[in-house]
Structure 1
Amino acid sequence: MDVLTQGAAERADGGSAAPAERYVNRELSWLSFNRRVLAEAENERYPLLERLRFLSISASNLDEFTMIRIAGLEGQATRGIETTAIDGLDPRQQLAAIREQVLALDSRQQRTLETLRGLLAEQGILIAEIDELDECQRDWLETYFTTDILPLITPQAIDPSHPFPFVANLGMGVLFRLKRGKRQPDLVEMVLIPSGAPRFVRVPGEEAIYVAIEKLIVRYADQLFPGFRILGDGLFRVLRDSDIEVEEEAEDLVRLFRTAIQRRRRGRAVLLELDEDCDPAAEALLREQFDVDTAMVTKTAGMLGLRHLSAICAEPRPDLKFAPFASRYPERILAHDGDCFSAIREKDIVIQHPYESFEVVVDFLHQAAIDPAVVSIKQTLYRAGDQSPVIAALIDAAQTGKAVTAVVELKARFDEERNLQWAAELERAGVQVIYGFMDWKTHAKVSLVVRREEEGYRTYCHFGTGNYHPINARIYTDLSYFTADPALGRDAAKLFNFVTGYVEPRSTECLAISPLGLKQKLFELIDREIENACAGKPAGIWAKVNAITHSELIDRLYAASAAGVEIQLVVRGICCLRAGVPGLSENIEVKSIIGRFLEHSRVWAFANGHRLPSKHAAVYLTSADAMSRNLDRRVEVLVPLANKTVHDQVLEQVMLANILDTEQSWQLQPDGEYTRMRMGEGGFNCHDYFMSNPSLSGRGAALKAGAVPKLRLEGTAE
């Protein structure tokens, strides 16, 4: 850090400011993000089934947060680990604050469900209680229970000879207290709800009537227990610790993860959810058996397991969903009759998913698989989905005799089992499968194709900000960059050698790779903006990431703010940085965009001595978020955009539209809370803009024809 940067850092130091005054707690910031997701379920401008979908997403998010983040903090507290978070809170202090907000969020989700149930009922979609139905409908449900549910469930007595059965993570069940005969003691039976059964049963008819499966089990329990009198029942759901710890000395990573996945299903119980009317004896037994901290037992008068509401969103009611949107196929590829290599060889291409089709990525690999001129393919795989055309293309390539290498990341959370299956299938086809580093995740998204051409071997690369997952690519906004630039090809080859053979590159021509030098590169770029500001030159930083938690990076941005660098950040989720605080970050603005598509692309832009946006700016794509795990403990890439067209498309369309958006945006306040920006008349919606304007990969004129309205940005671009 030079003298100018050091001086700016001292001005932003805040003197004796406590950590909580400089940073926002990571976990509380995540809960704030999920409240913004839930707010979309309350957004009256959205169609009803889309609002229901956002409610299910919020509930699913909260489940994962509980299974990973709360479980981790509880483990630290239990073991007496006093490591403090970025804001100075120890694990127990964090848990106390988290629990309060989790309970409030859960209550808000239940209120939202009740509101949506009423509105959906007016539109002919009922999430019904059995007593609300007529006799004919109840008769159908009873018959359905007898024929379709009863064969799937097994009552299990709980007594000294029948120990309490295991309940899997996310498992749901019902405890019944039964009586048979006056002199017989009460009997407790458990019925676990089969994970393969539909959570909601649709009653036949024009009106869409859905009944939760647990309601049927409770209502028709007499068929399960003939001759017994049912004294009480209690519905419950359990969440378990689902994090996987990697043993650094493990000899066989595949075997380790297979064992760890099994262990996760049986992890320590973290949260026990109970129905508010749970039988007292059943509740006492559940509390005893699951041994959950009292503070993490919740009771609700509403519905358990709201994540499953997504099943109802499949109801064929287009009038209650977003208008259909068809991704465009890149015009540049079409102009070359679908020949990806010819189009890329002519000029670099950038496309934005889901506005432009992910099929071009699949086609790039499929063409490589069948092209006799292609000699080798190297590919990173973090998440690929259930039915992956990317995997299929790699298998085809190997079966045609090409040298194919796949770096499969086993540590992709909740995709470990699927990735093990893909790895085995790839190996059977002759693909060289590499699992990367034991203690670093390979999170970079890179394809490298070597093709024999008249001039010699040419390398084609794809760098992505998102995963090679065809389903996610319809929902997540990500950028795909295709290039035949020789320097980028050489660097990509070094990246693969680093992961597959631990050959650490001594230098790279273009790429910055973490954990080797990506963080340092970002620091250098920020420091250059500080130097420009101190020299009286225009200085600015635009960035779009999913999260910012890295304290050193945050401090660097504070130093830049103190020096007068204008900083605008689009951070979808967690943000530990405090924005707009006098004397600390008054030149930093942070917004979060939440909407129909999940913002996922990662971009950095640096003014480089000129006012943003400009042709002189330094623009980069990256697979990394501004988090410690990405910058210090993962293999990531930072890719410079040197091609003028690609540079301008990313800066003057993608970044500018995100910065100008008001209708999907929330503004971060100095206290760490978020407020909605302007909606309706006079607002700007970046999602609508990208759905209705020409593709990024048009033929040059598209950029000007569909330009973002720059006049909304204060000042003028150079």
Structure 2
Amino acid sequence: MSELKLPKYYVNREVSWLAFNDRVLEEARDTQNPLLERAKFLAITQKNMDEWFMVRVASLQQQFFVGHDKPDAAGLLPKEQLDIISEAAGEQIKNQYQVLNRSILPALKRNGYELKHADDLSAEQLSFLKRFFDEELLPVLTPMAIDSTRPFPFLANDTLNIGVRLKKDDEKSEKHIAVLQVPTTSGRVIALPESNQVILIEEVVQQFLDALFQGYTIKESTVFHILRDMELDVADDEDTPNILQEVQSKLQERERGRVIRVIVSANTSKTLMNKLIKALEVPDERVYDVNGAIDLTFLDAWLKLIDAPTLEFSHFKGYENPDLVPEKMFASIKQRDYLLHHPYDTFKPVVQFIQTAARDENVLAIKMTLYRVSGNSPIIKALADAAQQGKQVTVLVEIKARFDEENNVHWARELEQKGVHVVYGLRGLKVHAKVALVVRREDDTIRRYVHLGTGNYNDVTANFYTDLGLFTSDGELGADVASIFNILTGYSDPVYFHQLHMSPEGIREFIYDKIHAEMANAKAGKPAGIKMKFNSLSDEHMIRHLYEASEAGVPVELIVRGIVMLRVGIPKISDKIEVHSIVGRFLEHSRIYSFENDGDPEVYLSSADLMTRNLDRRVELLFPIKNLTLRQRVLSIFKTMWEDNVKTRVLQDDGVFEKIDRRGLSASNSQEFFIAASLAEQIELQQREEALHRRRDFEPINNPFTGEEV
């Protein structure tokens, strides 16, 4: 085991994350994807990288500043990691702009959609933009001079700004510098009249800058984008009297974090560049100059103006199980368990589960955890309605959910005002479990109905995140979930759970036990194997256990969307481990843990990835799929994904993910397969309903008085 700790057996986490973002960038390059979807993928790579800088790179920088000298699993100190990933990020940014300038923009132009620049505009377009500038932009623009009496102003996180170098008309010196923040009030992209052409708001501002600096000549202007350290350091220990107030206070502090990255136009002069970088106090290695529009998320704004269904993925609506409509909801779940595979199965029954419970006079209580919800969540409304109808409603809202803190604080306050009992998470832990409990009176008994899931209760992201969820009225699972809520909301320390496993600690130890059982089976010559699907693998101890399983002869199949710190193909250590990664139309988000168990496979779903934070610092749940039919369905889902050869990349011995060579193979795209299967189910359901209606229309009816057919 000690040899398995050697750095040569591990990949740096941040390097692995950048490799994942490269896989997303490959989707932007892939001409087999519809054009507008490729543009979306490119925008996603920007959003992904922005968040990574604001959190992960910022965290490494903090470690470096405080002198933290503990190496990571790959043997790299914080400063060494910063140097490596700053250079790798720069290379990825160059690749992003190659895709933009050489592929996406030319293809859009060929299809009639053009991003214009100020020097390409017609006289009519310039006239239109001058009016727009005078009426919409000039009143809100605030130029800020920088001199001995006016120091460099504070520039907010994730903002687009313009740096200006000026010469006073009666002076020779060109030393005057000013900055102004690009306003967001009019949007990022301006549609030009009577065309499919657009221009970026910053170019409009630059075109008419003279109006802001009368008596001066503008020698140069440049656009730059800044990101700040956005880690939220909440001291949620016993010395913190009110965690809600602490989070709200830290949110305000976070906005003024240290600048962590600057992206600036490539044509910026050294003089202006040096002035800006010095004032922003950002290291040179995290300043990136680019040839093109700053901040590629402008593509999202542009795409909203384009109505071209043929350039997008075909519209898809998930299957809605007729057993799970409101009037049948509880009766159906009482009879058997139901598995939902989103978005191929619509998320609608999950929303209706809470809505139906809110209206049902026999429902006594609703309990639920919320980590991320949509901006106009129907689940929040249903919970509030239930409370106002006198039901006992308890909701744990995790207000420390990264970048959703403000949204969750808002919803927590809203629910409290409606009479919901709100818990704001736990001290020292994030509650990441996805669970809802409905307590219902039925005849002379009380029955618990449960939903457990791998993803958030977010009706918007459920349309493009793949997740799995279970509806059940199983008595033991219901009792376990009730115990979970007693732990989360009160003082309770149950001796054991019947079927659930909970982190901290519980999930880790359970998976260890299952791995050891597979090792024993392999050594005894019995069927053995491990199949897992999750988002990230970065826990060193779990990786070592998987290495041990491979050493013992256990085949290990892993489907991992993002970070993989494990190395494959190491003789006698990881040569039984194979890792696939699927990046496609939908974000792969479900978590599956399956063990061969001597030919009688055990299948579990979970909210947890195999990351240290999930296993040791979060409340997560892992739950079994007991129904044999549903268990086989989960295994079939895994098998279909494992056989994907279109959107799958396979991890190689050198640490690189490569697409499968399909020569001689039929194309197998798992996400398209699941869409087709869902549509087939919907067609079959529609045909059954139509046949039923035809029978009702044409079956003979007997006259009740004569007995004759009518």
Distance 1:641 1:230 in 2: 68
- CA-to-partner distance for each residue in 1:522-544, whole Å, 9 max, x for gaps? 11111110010010001011111
- Given that residues 545 and 571 in structure 1 are in contact (C-alpha distance below 8 angstroms), is that contact kept between their aligned partners in structure 2? yes
Partner in structure 2 of residue 140 of structure 1: 128
Choose the corresponding residue for 2:40, options 16, 37, 53: 53
Q: Which runs of 5+ in 2 are unaligned?
A: 687-710
Partner in structure 2 of residue 714 of structure 1: none
Partner in structure 2 of residue 229 of structure 1: 217
Closer, same or farther in 2 for the Cα pair 1:287/1:458, shift >3 Å?
A: same
Partners of 1:254 and 1:420 within 8 A in 2: yes
1:368 Cα offset (Å): 0.3
Q: CA deviation at 1:556?
A: 0.9
Q: What is the distance in 2 between the residues matched to 1:196 and 1:182?
A: 35
Q: Does the CA contact (< 8 Å) of 1:332 and 1:699 recur in 2?
A: no
Q: Which letter maps to 2:254?
A: R
Supply the AA of the counterpart residue of 2:27: E
1:97 partnered with 2:84: yes
User: How has the CA–CA distance of structure 1 residues 476 and 172 changed in structure 2, closer, same or farther, with 3 Å as cutoff?
Assistant: same
TM-score, L = length of structure 1:
0.92
Aligned-pair CA distance for 1:137: 1.9
Query: Which has the higher mean CA deviation after the structures are superposed, 275-284 or 468-477?
Result: 275-284
Are positions 1:295 and 2:285 aligned together? yes
Which residue is equivalent to 2:72? 85
Partner in structure 2 of residue 6 of structure 1: none
Partner of 1:631: 615
Which among 324, 332, 335 is matched to residue 333 of structure 1? 324
Query: Do 2:5 and 2:544's aligned partners in 1 also have CA atoms closer than 8 Å?
Result: no
- Distance in 2, Cα, partners of 1:638 & 1:380: 15
Quick check: 1:661–1:684 contact (8 Å CA) kept in 2?
Answer: yes
- SS at 1:420 equivalent: helix
Amino acid at match of 1:124: G
What TM-score do you get using the length of structure 2 for normalisation?
0.93
Residue 44 (str. 1) matches residue 31 (str. 2): yes
The answer on whether the counterparts of 1:409 and 1:442 sit within 8 Å (CA) in structure 2 is yes
User: Could you tell me how far apart the structure 2 residues matched to 1:693 and 1:583 are?
Assistant: 40
Which of 579, 599, 602 in structure 2 is aligned with 1:618?
Answer: 602
Question: What is the CA-CA distance between 1:158 and the residue it aligns to?
Answer: 1.7
Partner of 2:640: 657
Q: Aligned residues, how many?
A: 680
CA 86–632 in structure 1, closer or farther in 2 if over 3 Å, else same = same
Name the structure 2 match of 1:67. Answer: 54
Could you tell me how far apart the structure 2 residues matched to 1:554 and 1:418 are?
35
Q: How many Å separate the matches in 1 of 2:172 and 2:623?
A: 73
**Secondary structure of 1:449 counterpart:** strand
2:625 counterpart of 1:641: yes
How far 1:171 sits from its partner (Å)? 1.3
SS of the equivalent of 1:46 reads coil
SS at match of 2:448: strand
**Residues 1:255 and 1:390: Cα distance change in structure 2 (over 3 Å):** same
The amino acid of 2:138's aligned partner reads L
The answer to whether the 8 Å contact 1:518/1:637 transfers is yes
C-alpha spacing 1:568/1:257, structure 2 compared with 1 (3 Å):
same
> Match for 1:255: what amino acid?
Q
3-state SS of 1:189 partner: strand
Structure 2 equivalent of residue 214 of structure 1: 202
* Higher relative contact order (Cα pairs below 8 Å, separated by 6+ residues): 1
Counterpart residue number, 1:708 = none
**Counterpart code for 2:116:** A
| Equivalences for residues 263-282 of structure 1 within 5 A | 263-282=253-272
CA–CA distance in structure 2, aligned partners of residues 110 and 61 of structure 1: 15
The 10-residue stretch of structure 1 (272-281 or 348-357) with the greater mean CA deviation from structure 2:
272-281
Q: Write the letter of the residue equivalent to 2:289.
A: K
Deviations, residues 134-187 of structure 1 (Å, cap 9, x unaligned): 222222222222222222211122222222111011111112122333248643
For 1:426, the equivalent position in structure 2 comes to 415
Q: What CA distance in whole angstroms lies between the structure 1 residues aligned with 2:66 and 2:27?
A: 38
Counterpart residue number, 2:233: 245
1:684 to 668, 675, 678: 668
Letter in 1 for 2:106: G
Given that residues 348 and 482 in structure 1 are in contact (C-alpha distance below 8 angstroms), is that contact kept between their aligned partners in structure 2? yes
8 Å Cα contact 2:319-2:682 kept in structure 1: no
* Deviation at residue 104 of structure 1 after TM alignment: 0.2
AA partner of residue 624 (structure 1): A
Deviations 1:503-527 (A, max 9, x none): 2221000000101411111111111
Deviations 1:467-525 (A, max 9, x none): 01111101100011100001000000111111112422210000001014111111111
CA deviation after TM superposition for structure 1 residue 683, in Å = 2.0
Q: Which moved more, 1:182-191 or 1:435-444?
A: 182-191
Alpha-carbon distance in structure 2 between the residues aligned to 1:204 and 1:319: 23
Partner SS for 2:139: helix
- What SS is found at the alignment partner of 1:693? helix
SS state of the match for residue 121, structure 1? helix
Q: Give the C-alpha shift of residue 338 in structure 1.
A: 4.1
Residue from 319, 336, 348 that aligns with 2:310: 319
User: Match of 2:699?
Assistant: none
Q: What residue in structure 2 maps to residue 153 of structure 1?
A: 141
Choose which of 566, 589, 596 in structure 2 pairs with 1:577: 566
Structure 1 residues 694 and 18, CA gap change in structure 2 (3 angstroms): closer
Following the alignment from structure 2 to structure 1, what is the Cα–Cα distance between the partners of residues 679 and 141? 52
| CA distance in structure 2 between the aligned counterparts of 1:489 and 1:183, rounded to whole angstroms | 80
Contact 1:546 1:600 in 2 (8 A): yes
For residues 317 and 628 of structure 2, what CA distance do their matches in structure 1 show?
28
1:95-126 deviations in Å (ceiling 9; x for gaps): 11101110000000000000211111000111
CA apart distance, 1:552: 1.2
1:607 aligned to 2:596?
yes
Give CA deviations for 1:372-399 in whole Å, capped at 9, x if unaligned: 0000000000001211111111001001
In structure 2, relative to structure 1, the CA distance for the partners of 1:44 and 1:386 (3 Å cut) is: same
Paired residues of 2:5 and 2:73 also in contact (CA < 8 A)? no
Q: Is the 8 A contact 2:21 2:48 kept in 1?
A: yes
Corresponding residue for residue 359 of structure 1: 348
Deviation at 1:356, TM superposition (A): 1.2
CA-based RMSD of the aligned residues comes to 1.9
Q: Distance in 1 between matches of 2:250 and 2:294?
A: 27
Shift of 1:58: 0.3
Taking the aligned partners of 2:227 and 2:25, their CA distance within structure 1 comes to 21
1:567 corresponds in structure 2 to 556
1:435-462, Cα deviation, whole Å (9 max, x unpaired):
1212110000000000000140000000
Distance 1:258 1:506 in 2: 36
In structure 1, the residue corresponding to 2:70 is in which secondary structure?
Answer: coil
- The 5-angstrom pairing of residues 197-596 of structure 1 reads 197-205=186-194, 207-247=195-235, 248=237, 249-314=239-304, 315-334=306-325, 338-596=327-585
Q: Secondary structure at the match of 2:285?
A: helix
Shift of 1:225: 2.2
* 2:284 maps to amino acid: T
Q: Check the 8 A contact 2:168/2:216 in 1, yes or no.
A: yes
Contact 2:161/2:224 (<8 A) preserved: yes
What secondary structure sits across from 2:543 in the alignment? Answer: helix
C-alpha distance in 2, partners of 1:120/1:450? 54
Of residues 661-670 and 692-701 in structure 1, the stretch that sits farther from structure 2 once superposed is: 692-701
Q: Does 1:194 align with 2:194?
A: no
CA distance in 2, matches of 1:171, 1:352: 38
Q: 2: CA distance between counterparts of 1:564 and 1:405? A: 47
